[in-house]
């Protein structure tokens, strides 16, 4: 097992990474306030891993209840969130009960939002089961649901007490979902870790083949990058926004296509190519580097072209971005591979041109 720390003072927490962690009660017990938990999962992950986690906890004397949500990004909404509150109340969960989110980023984001708001906040643990959730969404305390007009628009910053990334759960992850997680892994190389980008160029096929050592290395390096950024800027006043490389374009793709049509990681890959193209147009990134980024995404079987939503529709959707300030669009762009910057002054004509150029 490898362990990292998210350094947030008295709210600091560990990230444990390794195979078989779901069956290790000694990792979970120290963070429970009382021997009572509710596990939030979905109807896809539940049948695979709920019994295992329940047995681990019950075997250690913990009282466990569970709620299975309908699976999918399309259900990351108020109605499904309310199912969690129903289960919390029907199960007479207390403020000291721990909510454990068992699943991918959708379950983690919704479980976290429920934990942040139920009785004004209850202890929360992330047990991520997708690559995307193990490298990104389970760490850092962003929780949210979607609104028909925009992704992740309603939410809260609320940190977990523990992240338990059992890498053995990735064995059952569909290949398309694994690839979507790789998009966020590549993101860390692009925004702040050029050595990691080079490592990924050398090891991408090992990752895609789920070689345990390669997966653990990539998850650890990604979490290390994320933990450093979150510790420095928990509530996204500055540096943390760089983690959103490709996301302004990508969220427009997800919302514009209808939630669930494009996976989050797929939209981030195509969106990152738009950001790279704009960085090239502004004279920062060379054409060869744009092609280098595209080549890595393509080796991960990720899209490098966005869907044809129409430039006007992209801009309308992008105007809802959380980084918009005083009505001005702020985009994360690349000065080079390994160095991202926030930029508010990209000419509209250039933004329009790169959207048009990178859609097919």
140 sits near ligand GLY (criterion: CB under 6 A)? yes
68 sits near ligand NAD (criterion: CB under 6 A)? no
Measured from the CB of residue 136, what is the shortest distance to ligand GLY in angstroms? 5
225 sits near ligand NAD (criterion: CB under 6 A)? no
Nearest residue to ligand GLY, using CB?
243
Whole-number Å distance between alpha carbons of 28 and 24: 7
Name beta bridge partners: 6. 13
105 sits near ligand NAD (criterion: CB under 6 A)? yes
Whole-number Å distance between alpha carbons of 333 and 214: 28
244 sits near ligand GLY (criterion: CB under 6 A)? yes
Interface with ligand GLY (CB under 6 A), residue from 73, 136, 166, 234: 136
Nearest residue to ligand NAD, using CB?
105
Measured from the CB of residue 240, what is the shortest distance to ligand GLY in angstroms? 5
Whole-number Å distance between alpha carbons of 302 and 182: 9
Name beta bridge partners: 17. 2, 165
User: How would you write 246-267 as a 3-class SS string?
Assistant: CHHHHHHHHHHHCCCCCCHHHH
Alpha-carbon distance values, 175 to 72, 125, 187, 202, 210 (Å): 16, 26, 19, 20, 10
Whole-number Å distance between alpha carbons of 138 and 326: 30
240 binds, among ligand NAD, ligand GLY, none (CB under 5 to 8 A by kind): ligand GLY
User: Which residue is catalytic, options 44, 54, 75, 142?
Assistant: 142
Helix 264-281 and helix 287-299, axial crossing angle in degrees, nearest 10: 170
Q: Which is nearer to ligand GLY, 84 or 243 (CB)?
A: 243
Find, among 115, 101, 111, 99, the residue nearest to 32 by Cα: 99
CB 273 within 8 Å of CB 358: yes
- Which tokens sit at 235? 């509530």
List the Cα angle 87/93/98 in 5-degree steps: 100
User: Which residue is catalytic, options 161, 221, 224, 247?
Assistant: 247
Task: Kindly indicate which of the ranges 12-20, 100-108, 327-335, 338-346 contains the residues binding ligand NAD, using the contact rule CB under 6 A.
Answer: 100-108
CB 323 within 8 Å of CB 330: yes
Q: Which is nearer to ligand GLY, 142 or 358 (CB)?
A: 142
Annotation says 142 is catalytic? yes
Q: Which is nearer to ligand NAD, 41 or 281 (CB)?
A: 41
Residue 19's contacts (CB-CB under 8 Å, 6 or more residues apart) are: 166, 167, 168, 212
Each residue 263-302 as x (binds ligand NAD by CB under 6 A) or -, in order, gives -xx-------------------------------------
Q: What is the DSSP string of 190-221?
A: HHH-HHHHHHHHHHHHHHHTT-HHHHHHHHHH
Q: Which is nearer to ligand NAD, 48 or 359 (CB)?
A: 48
User: Which residue is catalytic, options 92, 120, 287, 328?
Assistant: 120
142 sits near ligand GLY (criterion: CB under 6 A)? yes
Annotation says 16 is catalytic? no
Measured from the CB of residue 22, what is the shortest distance to ligand NAD in angstroms? 11
Q: Which is nearer to ligand GLY, 25 or 160 (CB)?
A: 160
Each residue 76-95 as x (binds ligand NAD by CB under 6 A) or -, in order, gives x-------------------
Q: Could you give the residue ranges of the DSSP H alpha helices within 59-130?
A: 78-90, 105-117
Interface with ligand GLY (CB under 6 A), residue from 40, 50, 214, 243: 243
| Catalytically active residues, by annotation | 120, 142, 184, 226, 236, 240, 244, 247, 251, 264
Residues of this chain that interact with ligand NAD (CB under 6 A) are: 42, 44-45, 48, 71, 73, 76, 103-107, 109, 129-130, 132-133, 136-137, 140, 142, 151-152, 169, 172-173, 177, 180, 264-265
Residues of this chain that interact with ligand GLY (CB under 6 A) are: 136, 140, 142, 240, 243-244
């Amino acid at each position: 097992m490898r362990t990292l720390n998210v350094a947030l003072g008295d709210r600091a927490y560990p990230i444990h990474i390794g195979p078989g962690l779901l069956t290790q009660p000694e990792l979970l017990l120290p963070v429970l306030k009382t021997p009572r938990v509710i596990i939030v999962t979905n109807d896809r992950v539940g049948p695979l891993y709920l019994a295992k986690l329940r047995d681990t906890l019950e075997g250690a004397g913990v009282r466990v209840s569970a709620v299975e949500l309908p699976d999918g990004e399309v259900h990351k909404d108020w109605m499904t969130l309310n199912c969690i509150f129903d289960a919390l109340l029907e199960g007479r969960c207390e403020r000291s009960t721990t909510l454990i989110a068992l699943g991918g980023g959708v379950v983690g984001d919704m479980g976290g939002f429920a934990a942040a708001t139920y009785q004004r906040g209850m202890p929360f643990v992330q047990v991520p089961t997708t690559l995307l959730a193990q490298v990104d969404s389970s760490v850092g305390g962003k929780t949210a649901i979607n609104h028909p007009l925009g992704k992740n628009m309603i939410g809260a910053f609320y940190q977990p007490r523990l992240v338990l990334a059992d890498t053995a759960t990735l064995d059952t992850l569909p290949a398309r979902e694994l690839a979507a997680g790789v998009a966020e892994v590549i993101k860390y190389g692009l925004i702040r870790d050029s050595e990691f980008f080079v490592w990924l160029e050398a090891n991408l096929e090992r990752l895609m083949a789920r070689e345990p050592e390669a997966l653990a290395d990539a998850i650890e390096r990604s979490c290390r990058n994320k933990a450093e950024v979150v510790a420095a800027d928990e509530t996204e006043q500055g540096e943390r926004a760089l983690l959103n490389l490709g996301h302004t374009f990508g969220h427009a793709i997800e919302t514009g296509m209808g939630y669930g049509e494009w996976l989050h990681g797929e939209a981030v890959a195509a969106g990152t190519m738009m950001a790279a193209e704009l960085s090239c147009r502004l004279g920062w990134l060379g054409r060869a580097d744009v092609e280098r980024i595209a080549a890595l995404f393509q080796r991960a079987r990720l899209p490098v072209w966005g869907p044809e939503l129409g430039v006007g529709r992209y801009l309308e959707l992008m105007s809802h971005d959380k980084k918009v300030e005083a009505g001005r669009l702020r985009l994360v762009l690349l000065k080079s591979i390994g160095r991202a910057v926030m930029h508010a002054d990209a000419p509209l004509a250039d933004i329009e041109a790169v959207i048009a150029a990178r859609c097919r």
